[in-house]
Every structure is written in C-alpha cells, then in structure tokens.
Structure 1
Amino acid sequence: MTNTSHETKRTLLYIFIAFAFSIFMRLIWVYNFNGYAPFYFNGQFMINTNDGYFWAEGARDLLSGTLTNPDAKEYLDKFHQLHDLSPVSSAASQLTAFFAKILPFSFESVIFYLPVFLSSLVVVPIILIAKALKNLEMGLIAALLASIAWSYYNRTMAGYYDTDMLNIVLPMFLLWSIIWAIKTNKDIYLLFTALDILVYRWWYPQSYSLEFAFFGLILFYTLVFDRKNVFNYKLLAMMMFAMMNTDGLTRLGAIFTLFYIFKQEKFDKYIYYILGLSIFAFFVTGGFSPIWSQLKGYVFRESVSTGAKGLGLHFFTVMQTVREAGHIPFETFANRISGNTVTFVIALFGYMYLLYKHRIMLFSLPLVGLGFLAYVGGLRFTIYAVPILAFGIAFLITQIALKMPTQKLKVLSMIALTLLILYPNYKHIEAYKVPTVFNADEVKVLTALGKKANREDYVVSWWDYGYPIRYYADVKTLADGGKHSGSVNFPISFMLTHTQEEAAQMARLDVEYTEKTYDYIAKNKKQIEDKNLTVFSNIEQMTKDYGYKDTNKFLKSLQSDIKLPQKTRDIYFYLPFRMINIYPTVTLFSNLNLMNGAKRKQPFFFISRNFKDTGAKIQLAQNIFLDKRTSMLTIGKQTLPIRRFVVTKYDKNMHLHKDVKLINLSSNISVIYMADYRTFLIVDEKTYNSLYIQLMVLENYNKKLFEPVILTPQAKVYKLKI
C-alpha cells in the first residue's frame, strides 16, 4: 500500500470519526427533552431559534408550489401573497425545500435536524487543511474541538435552524482552497476558490467582508513575499470577479470565462490588466458598499437614527437591544471560542506558534479577526475564531506528543489532552437546555389564528415573534427579525404601550401605509434607484398627510378620532404572556421625542416572580416590600400608597376573573398579582392603561375597537374592529 493511499484512508477515517462525534453530541439535547410535550408540534420537536422560522416559511411556500419558477405570477397568487416577505429565493429555503422533497421525513424533522448534519461538515475542511500541513492528528483534534465548542454548538445545535449551519463550513472550505492554491499553484484551486465564494455568497449574502479580508491578505502576501508569482495574481482576479455585487449567474459566467483564459499561458502577460479590470468591476458594481454598511451597523452604531431629509425624525435603533450585537466580558469571549479561559489562552499561544511554524496559516487571520470582533461587535462573531483557535491548541497537543519517548505514550498523551480540552465543552452541552421558540400551547393559538384569518390580514406583535407568526398562522406582519428598524418598530411599540384608542388608530394607519409603501416602491423601483429618491417612514408620511410638521403633534391627535384610511384587510393583535418579560424594551422605541431624539422618562414597570410572604409583608425584591395590612409599597427608603391592587385568576374553564380594589386614587402606582403565573407586576398609570396590560393581562378590551378571538393563559388574540 502506498503512503498516499494510506494517508487518504486515514483522512477519511478521521473525517468520519469527527463527523460522527459532532452529530452524537448534538443529539444530547434531543435525548434530554425526548417526549417533553410542550416542545413538540406535529409529532416532532420544534426549532429553537426565531430566525429559523423565516427560512422555514420560504421552504414551506416552495414546497407548496414549484421549485422551478417561484417568481411566476400564478405561483405568487397560489402559494404566497404579494409583500408577504416569504424568502422563496433564499438559499436556506431552497436547500431545505430540496432536502424535504427528497428525504422520507416530515418537514418539521428536516428543519430540526438539518443543522445537526450540515454544521458537522466543518470537520471536513479542518482535516483537509491539516492534511496540507502534513499533520492529520492535529486536524482530528481540532475538528473534535471546533465542532462542539460553545459558540459553534450554540448556533448549530439540534433545532437551531439558521444560516449558521453553513456559515463557518463555507469559509473554512474557502480557507482550505486558498491554502492549497498558494501551496500547489494548481489551476484547479483557482476554480475551487471562486466557486466557494459564489456558493458562500449564495448561502450568506453578508459574506462580503470576510471575502474581501481574504483578498486583502492574499494581496499583501503576494506583494511582500511572492511578488513575481503570476499564479497569485490569477487567484486575486478570480476572487474579485467572484466577489462582484451582481447576480450569481453573471459572476459564474465571468469566472468560467476567466478560468478558460488563465488555462492558456499566452494570456499571462495580460494578468495585471485583468487584475485591474477585476478590481474596477468590483467597485463599479458596488462591491464595497455592503461591507461599509455592516461596519456601520455593528461597530459604529448609535442609540438613535435620523431619518434622511424630510422632517429628520429620530428613532431608537434596534442594535442597542440585540444581545448578539452587544459587548461581552473576556471570560464569556474566551469560553465561547474554546470552552474555557485557560484553554483559550493556551490555544492563542498555540495559534501563534502554528503561524511561526507554518506561514501558510496566516491566511486564517481574517477568521480570527472576525471572531475577535466579538469584543466590539457582539458575541455572534465568536464562532468564526472557533476552528482556527482549535488548530492552535491541537497543534500544541501534537507537538507535546512528539516529545514522548514511545509511540504508545504519544497516542495516550494526545488522547488525554484532547479529552481534557473537550470536557468543558461537553459539560456546557450537557447543561445547555435551551427551550424551543414557542411552546405547544402558543403554537396552537397561532395555528388556530391561521384558520380564522385570511392570508392578506396583518398580525401586530413585537418583532421577536414575527417569523413564527408568519410560519404558523400564514399571515402578514409589520415587523420581524429582519425588518425591525427604529422607524418600523416605533408604531408597533406605540400600539402596545399606549391606550386602546391610540393603538387602534395607529394599527389601521400603519398597516394601510405599509401596503401603500410596498406598492409605491414596486411601481417606482427604477426611479428610486436611479434618482436615489427617499422613501419616508410610515410615521413621517402620516405626519405630512395629516397636515402636521411636528410628528409629536400628529401623535397627540390620535387621542381623538381622526379620519382613517379605507380598510383593506383585517388586523389582529397577538399578545403572548412571554412579552411581559421584554415590555420595558418595547417601550424604548416609542418613548422618545421623534423631532429631536430626546428620550422621555421611562414608564415604571417592575416584575417579580421570586417573592416571599413574610406574614405582614410580601417581599417582592431585596428592597421592595408590599405591606398587606396598609397596602403601602416600600421601594428602598421610599414608602408609597398604591392606586389599586388587582388579582387575576383563571377558573377551571380557563376564563379569567379579576378582583380590582381601588385604594388611593392620588397614587400613580398599581400592583397586579397574576395568581396562575405566580407573578407580581408594579406599574404606573400609563403602563396600566397600555394596550398590552389591558388586553393581555386584564382582558379589559374596548368593545367598539376590539373583539376577542382566542383567549388562553399563554397568548391572546384580538381582532381590530375599525
């Protein structure tokens, strides 16, 4: 048997071991919750990431129609409606629909288990890169660690159906093709690199920044270390054409044409002109614009955004409330990359040693750099550094093993040290028992709503629930995980946190203006792009249409009856109990002066579940007490009377009953005890009168404006009557 054949078999064996290990570890969550009814729908586990329902919606709509022509009018009419935002043209939806079509499993099974298998493919490029460095054992160890490291596992576990299931796999394949291209100078790797960029862009359109970083590093390497190598300039040109900001078929044609040219040596003398042309094409097609947009969104973010031209309205930016875009402490940062702070530090040292011993691994710096951006841009980026830092500690382990006097000790030392670095990550997986996005009872509400509502109807709720609402109820939403800018969130926040009268009118206005805006953009798309026309937010357009120059005055007018747009569809409010946990966040988006961005005083809202009855008092928090005899509320050193004390409780038929005791009308603070939830709320009068508290918590609805559709302890749905 030749050495090459033996190496190939060892490579395949290591890939199989690492792949099987990755899958097995992801099945621990399945084992932990097997048979737990609240996590099941249609006999299968539900997914545990909100964004997954976006891709699931697109795949569902594709499977309902045809995979060949999702843009055809008859397809649109039959399987998804105009402006429903269903991602039928997205890669994740198309790939999912393909697998669901060919595999003998339910759709729910496919979307739940797809991340388990696709994300585990990351072990393949890791081991192939190690093969290029002639250290397969390093590849196996790195693959085992990278496949289950905290952040990678968290975003690719069973049920975490999102683009992350290939977002590290594809750039790792890109790194592999770049390394092999530079090492071998074989033309086939020119094509592999360009095709990987095409696939990566198809799968994840936000891949611009990483691709550009790879290009910049290769350019630097070429100019400093390998200036006379024509092959490197060919590689750069292929990458530039693959990275253009045009449709995939155009780029595919360009790279095959270029590959054909590069196969003929007579064109080598024109390589600098071709490279210059490729760079020109990249910038002319707007290739750098998305990169700058991402930097602005994650690094140079502000608390409020200003509308362009017009009234110059100021809105609260959603990036300030998204946890994955926030700053993280070093320990969290280290744990998410390597599973343990000590492991991370050793891995970082090992990575630097690996760079010293194998200069070719310098091309992995963009992945490490993007991973370390987590310190500035948020925890989601840590996954990019996971496989590279895994190489670092794996390299150290193999170097330590080489110092062992016997083969047996070499093997034992590698096994022992590998188990040592895997253990904290395994313990994390064992303890990481995240719930599904919704529970079975909540999904029952949405599926029931889907049978009552038409597909053109809108459901108002906070953006966190937009994708699941559309998936289960097959209706339209105003906001979701991808459409939640400050200007979009403002009217929804306003509806949920203001009176029923104000909320009802804003709901009708926002829905009708949303549809009008969609139509306007569709009809004037070319003019908007060519002349860079501004499409104003719904709130700004409402302000102007109703004859105001000050949006604050327009919003005040909603306290009285105003002439509303003609009704074109029904509107429903979906109010889940779980929203109570984020109510203060919801208020942030409408609790500001839109004309100057000044934040108003935050409404008072306090929630207590870990309370204790001490006899004379109820301790709601460390320094908050409610005197049961005098009904006085003590907050720190301040003692206040309460306006009312409310107790809510469901009977055996799940009908809500309320006991409201008015105590002191001069007070602005009320206490609500939701007995069945074992939850206390302390709220001011503004919050008490908000739509969410009145309709969800108390079921006090204005019969002229709303009618109840579905009332359950988990979630409540009301239909707007105007």
Structure 2
Amino acid sequence: MNNLTQETKLTLVYILIAFAFSVAMRMIWMYQFDGYEPFMFNGQFMINTNDGYFWAEGARDILSGISQENDRSPIANAGSQLTAFFAYVLPFSFETVILFMPVFLSSLVVVPIVLIARGLDNLEMGLVAALLASIAWSYYNRTLIGYYDTDMLNIVLPMFLLWSIIWAVKTNKDIYLIITALDILVYRWWYPQSYALEFSFFGLILFYTLVWDRKNLYNYKLLAIMMFAMLNIDGFIRFPLVLVAHYLFKQERYQKYIYYILALSVVVFFATGGFEPIWDKLKAYIFKDAVVVGEEGLKLHFYSVMQTVREAGQIPFETFANRISGHRIIFILSVVGYIYLAYRHKIMLLTIPMLGLGFLASVGGLRFTIYAVPVLAFGIAFLITEIARLMPTKKLKVLSTVAFTLMVLYPNYKHIEAYKVPTVFNAEEVKILDKLKTVASREDYVVSWWDYGYPLRYYSDVKTLVDGGKHSGSVNFPVSFILTNPQEISAKMARLDVEYTEKTFKFIEENEERIKNKEVNVFSNIEQMTTDYGFKDTNDFLLSMQSDMKLPNKTRDIYLYLPFRMLEIYPTVTIFSNMNLMNGEMKQAPQFFVSKNFKQNQNIIDLGRGVLFDLQGQSLNIGNKKIPIKRFVKTAYDKDMKLQKDVSVSNFMANISVVYMSNYNTFLVLDEQTYNSLYIQLMVLEEFDKTIFEQVLATPHAKVYKLKI
C-alpha cells in the first residue's frame, strides 16, 4: 500500500511539474509583447488565430442570449459552450478567458501521457515525454496563448482516450469500459471529426485482440461499448446506450451474449452511416481536386479552396520532422525509440492511429503533424530512460536523464522564443470593426474575403457571405467577382449574392425533408441566378450584368470591408472568379505585382524580381523587355488623414499602370483590368461612384463602403 501511495504521489508531482512547464512556455509570447498596444483591445491582448473568432462569436451569443436567424453563430458547438461556461463562472473578462483557455486546456495533455507511462511502470519516461510533447513545434504553434481554437483539446482528448484504452486492455477492469466510452462521447462532442481516429483505435484493439488476446472476453466488451459510443447519432442517444451496455457487461448472466452484442453494435454503426464522415474527410484532404464540379443542373465548375489552404499542402521532410520533434535528429531517434518501445510493450501499438494520422502530414498537410507529437515523444523519452538505466549510479542516472531531456527540449524552446506570431488584426483595424458595429445592423451583410469573415462577425456583429468555414469554390466565386470587377458590375453581384443567400436559407428551411430525401436540389447562388434570369450559360449571364438588369428587392443593407492587408492575397482572391464556370478552364491571370522592398538609383527604381521602373521614361523594364505604362499614380495622406492622389497619364494605349502608395512604402504594378477593379478603386484610390457607394469609414488600415442599390 505504501508503494502504491508513493507511486501516486510521484505521479501527481510529475504531472504538476510538466503542467507548470507547459503553461510557463506558453506565456513567453505574452512576455515578449508586454505593453505592445497594437496587439491589444479593450485592455487585453487579442487572440492570434482567425478561427478563434468563430467560437468567440458563439460564446458571446450564448452569454447574451441573442442570435439572429441564419447568422452561422456556433451556439450549439462545444467550443463556444465551454467558453461561455468559463466566462460565466470565472471572474475574468471575456477577452481574458479566450486568450488563456488554450494555455491551460492544451497543457492537460501531460496528464494522460504521465498516466500511460505509469501503466508501463516507467514514470520517468512519462515526465520526459510530457515535457517534450507539451512544447513540440506543431503542438505549441496550435496551442500557444491566444491560439483559441479546437486544437487546445484536439490532442488532449484522444490522449485521454488512448490512456483509458491502454489501461482497459492491461487491467481488464470494468471502470475503464465506461471511461473509454465517455472519452469517446466527450471527444465527439468537442470535435465531430473525431470519427476516423476513433474508428482506427477500434480497428487496432480488434487486431490486438485477434493476434494476442483472442480468448479474452473483456476485449470484446471494450470493442462493443466503443462501437455504441461511436454511432453516428446524437450523443444524448448514445449516452444511455453506453450505460445500458456497461450494465449488461457487469452482469454475469449476460456474458454469453457479448459476441452478439458486439455484432449488433457493428451493424448499427454502419446502418447509421458511421463510416461516411471518415470517407468524406479522406476525400477532402487527400483526394483533393483543382476544381469542384456540380452533379446536377448546369454542372458548373468551381475552383477548389483546398488548393489555396497552406495546412492542406505537402511539406518537406525537415519541416515535417521539426514540427513533430523539434529537430530531424531528434525525430529519427524518436522513431527508433518508438519502435523499441512498441517491441518491449506491445500495448503501445495502440498508438499507431495517432502516429499514422501525424504521418499523413506528408501528403495531407502540416496540420496533421500535431497528432504524432505525443506518440514520438514517448519514443525519445523511452530511449533516454533506457540509457539512464545503464548508468552505474543513481546520481548518474538522474544526471543523464536531465542532460538528454534538456538536449531534446532546447530546439523546441528556441522555436518558441523565435515564434512571434501577430494577432489576427491590429488594434487600429479592430477599432474600424467596432465602429462598423454602431453603423450596421445585425441583419446587414458585410462583403469581404473569407479570411476576415469570423473577425467581422465577432467585432461588428453582422452577417457575412464567406468565412473560415464557408469558403467553397461556389460561395467564393461571387465574392471574388465583386472584389475584382468594375464598380457597377460588382455592386449588382453584391446585391444579387446577398439576396440569393437569404432566399436559399428560406428555401432550405421550407424544403428540409425534400432536400434530405433528394427530391429537390439546392444549387449554388450563381447557378440559380443564371437560370432565374433565363440563361443556360453562366458566361452569358455574367456578360449581361454589363447592361441594365432588374435586381432583387432590397431586404437589408450591404457594406464592403476592404482592408489594406488584402493586397497580400489579391492574386488568390482573383483565382476563384477567373475561371470559365461552364468548362473549368482558367482564364489568363491578371497582371498584379506588389513591391515593398525596392531600391532607387536616380530615376530607376528596382522593384525586385527583375522589374525596373523608369521614372523619367515612364516605362517598365522586365528582363530585356521595355513596357510603356499608361499612368503613374502617387497616393499620400495629408495631415487630416485624407487621401490625396497625383495621377500622371503618359500613354493612353498602354495596359499597365504603376501606383506608389507612399504612406505604405508600397509599389503596385497592375494591368487595366486590375486597376479598374472594385478593390483597387475603392481601397487604394478611394475613387468610388457616389451613385452606387457611400464611404462610411476610411483609415489607412481599411475602408468601409455602403452599397446604395
């Protein structure tokens, strides 16, 4: 009993040490930017992940009890609900709660790591693994202070699930049956995409049972209760099913029915469509195409957003290794250690699903590396403790463990020290959104690119057409079209897209059952516009917008949010509407070049990338080619922060213009199509048609316009 008590005390001490270390490392970002006003709003640091504003919006609406229809506020999502709970019970501001939640919740990952190691009778391995896993590159990057997103529990919960499974298989105690099932229920509540990992764990337990422990009835109980917890039905139904299964498994008289109960759970799992979400996710991240083609109606082609999402792209080996272990040598040793660990403790083969998901990063993108972090942390930790065992004295064992642990922690610490990520928006940008909240109503729409959708909804409390979760090719097309076309055409598309979006909401609500039974289809807004206006070719419909057309009745106001920072992604914005929707062919990309690092030598300005601007000759030299420019424009803000423009036209026949934004120290080289686009005219030049637009807010950081039609 004394040994057990001593082991428990040591377990708690190791957990507290690792937890405190993890929290302290995540506070470094805050220390580095202490007092830096551009990162602060309402007296607190802002968060540094875009998606965080989605959950924050939901939590805000839960606490206020107000959420308008079709506003996409995630009031039913776990992230928002948990945040609202913490904000309600804790004596801190809402901004403080969302800033610090990732610090403390993500650090909980050390608990199951130490507990798993305890089950292997190697607590020192657990401490070393917990220290490394808590701050490894990819895990830190997605859980540092301010990184308020589902990732703060996305590794913690599967690690708790892994712990309960390992202890269930090792101890065969009934308590771990219910703990495992509850782990799955909570994990699914928090992260609905957990299907694939849960199913993989199930498969590994089945494999482990059939190969090494097939006569053990307990393992089949574990498989059955896991399957009931994994059903593709509401959690409020799965929970009582799990309780009933657990009750039956504890009764001696029902032991002979275990195999039948397991078979029933599998049948119900597939009958409820349990495998479909897994397949959908695989298709989305692995089998991604450049275009998405509709299956009904006009069969329009749209550009796939997955091609522009960095986290879904392939990454080089060094980046892959660094993100998992901090250094490629540590990564290689971790793999060796993991293989040795699995050889010595076959139960650790149950970690393969997480390791496999982490290695999926080599084809699926860097976001997956986070799953391999704790598993390979066990690998290097096992090597360190095994080396320590070879030491002749206890003092040398401790010293070697400390020395090697510091060596594997060091490159990860250096990464943390250098990882000075900015907040999503700076304080001046947020002030604009805060003012917009007083101008626009909750039913009004603000048109901007999807990168800014969540912050717009959180700070301005408005509706948006696209955001971080709604940015498929079909919904991106109209917004891209609005931002990259001339003002009159863009204004028409803005009114059309907003009103058709609302019409679609109403249609879906009125035809929910018929849509579910596939009796009717929901088409994209652009396809519905095409057919409603009597066209069979979307290209013809888009051309018709250059002439007079009857627009839908106005039901709400529309605003345009045009930030300066959009210049960086303008070429990406153009891609989504620069496509022939009828056949999927990409049109010639507009010419657009931004230079912020240039050098001037008398009348020649070197803009970089082989582009020279001749001020006196009003021409561009690109390689050996000399290109005349149509106009040179210089913009500057006066002492009253009003934009002033100096326009010099040199060649009416030319197609290229150069714009120098002096206050931003930025040159733009763009063709006539881009020069006349809504974004350039309204944000860069503040040249707007007063019959169509009204300027509402204007600062160097962003411009806001109200649509009059």
Deviation at 1:290, TM superposition (A): 0.6
Q: Output one character per residue of 1:362-392: Cα deviation in whole Å (capped at 9) or x when no partner.
A: 0000000000000010000000000000000
Instruction: Give the residue type in structure 2 aligned to 1:4.
Output: L
Within 5 Å, which residues of 2 pair with 1:60-459?
60-65=60-65, 79-459=66-446
Instruction: Give the residue type in structure 2 aligned to 1:466.
Output: G
Q: Residues of 1 paired with 2:639 and 2:276: CA distance?
A: 59
Q: Output one character per residue of 1:158-190: Cα deviation in whole Å (capped at 9) or x when no partner.
A: 000000000000000000000001001111111
Q: Output one character per residue of 1:591-630: Cα deviation in whole Å (capped at 9) or x when no partner.
A: 0000010001100000000000112310000411011211
Q: Residues of 1 paired with 2:574 and 2:279: CA distance?
A: 30
Deviation at 1:220, TM superposition (A): 1.2
Q: 1:72 aligns to what?
A: none
Q: Match for 1:620 among 592, 607, 611?
A: 607
CA contact (8 A) 1:643 1:668 kept: yes
Q: 1:494 aligns to what?
A: 481
- Residues 1:6 and 2:11 are matched in the alignment: no
Q: Secondary structure at the match of 2:125?
A: helix
Q: Secondary structure at the match of 1:561?
A: coil
Q: Residues of 2 paired with 1:593 and 1:444: CA distance?
A: 39
Q: Secondary structure at the match of 1:368?
A: helix
Instruction: Give the residue type in structure 2 aligned to 1:642.
Output: I
Which moved further from structure 2: 538-547 or 607-616? 607-616
Q: Secondary structure at the match of 1:646?
A: strand
Compared CA separation, residues 497 and 142, structure 1 to 2 (3 A)? same
Q: 2:456 aligns to what?
A: 469
Deviation at 1:80, TM superposition (A): 1.2
Q: 1:26 aligns to what?
A: 26
Q: Secondary structure at the match of 1:535?
A: coil
CA contact (8 A) 1:647 1:660 kept: yes
Within 5 Å, which residues of 2 pair with 1:590-669?
590-669=577-656
Q: Residues of 2 paired with 1:388 and 1:404: CA distance?
A: 26
Instruction: Give the residue type in structure 2 aligned to 1:579.
Output: M
Which moved further from structure 2: 379-388 or 524-533? 524-533
Q: Residues of 2 paired with 1:427 and 1:51: CA distance?
A: 26
Q: Residues of 2 paired with 1:653 and 1:103: CA distance?
A: 44
Q: Secondary structure at the match of 2:547?
A: coil
Instruction: Give the residue type in structure 1 aligned to 2:324.
Output: I
Deviation at 1:639, TM superposition (A): 1.1
Q: Output one character per residue of 1:653-700: Cα deviation in whole Å (capped at 9) or x when no partner.
A: 110000111011111110000000000000000000000000000000
Q: Secondary structure at the match of 2:506?
A: helix
Instruction: Give the residue type in structure 1 aligned to 2:618.
Output: S
Instruction: Give the residue type in structure 1 aligned to 2:518.
Output: K
Q: Match for 1:562 among 540, 549, 554?
A: 549
Superposed CA RMSD in Å reads: 0.7
Aligned residues: 709
Gaps of 5+ in 2: none
Q: Residues of 2 paired with 1:589 and 1:150: CA distance?
A: 33
Q: Secondary structure at the match of 1:514?
A: helix
Q: 1:44 aligns to what?
A: 44
- How high is the TM-score relative to the length of structure 1? 0.98
Q: Output one character per residue of 1:523-582: Cα deviation in whole Å (capped at 9) or x when no partner.
A: 111111123632100000000000000001001111112100000000000000000000
Q: 2:698 aligns to what?
A: 711
Deviation at 1:409, TM superposition (A): 0.5
Gaps of 5+ in 1: 66-78
CA contact (8 A) 1:316 1:588 kept: yes
Q: Match for 2:574 among 587, 591, 595?
A: 587
Q: Output one character per residue of 1:106-137: Cα deviation in whole Å (capped at 9) or x when no partner.
A: 00000000000000000000000000000000
Q: Secondary structure at the match of 2:27?
A: helix
Instruction: Give the residue type in structure 1 aligned to 2:213.
Output: D
Deviation at 1:224, TM superposition (A): 1.7
CA contact (8 A) 1:308 1:534 kept: no
- Residues 1:540 and 2:527 are matched in the alignment: yes
Q: Residues of 2 paired with 1:186 and 1:106: CA distance?
A: 43
Instruction: Give the residue type in structure 2 aligned to 1:46.
Output: M
Aligned identity (percent) is: 70
Q: Residues of 1 paired with 2:706 and 2:429: CA distance?
A: 17
Which moved further from structure 2: 232-241 or 566-575? 232-241
Q: Residues of 1 paired with 2:519 and 2:636: CA distance?
A: 56
Q: Residues of 2 paired with 1:187 and 1:479: CA distance?
A: 48
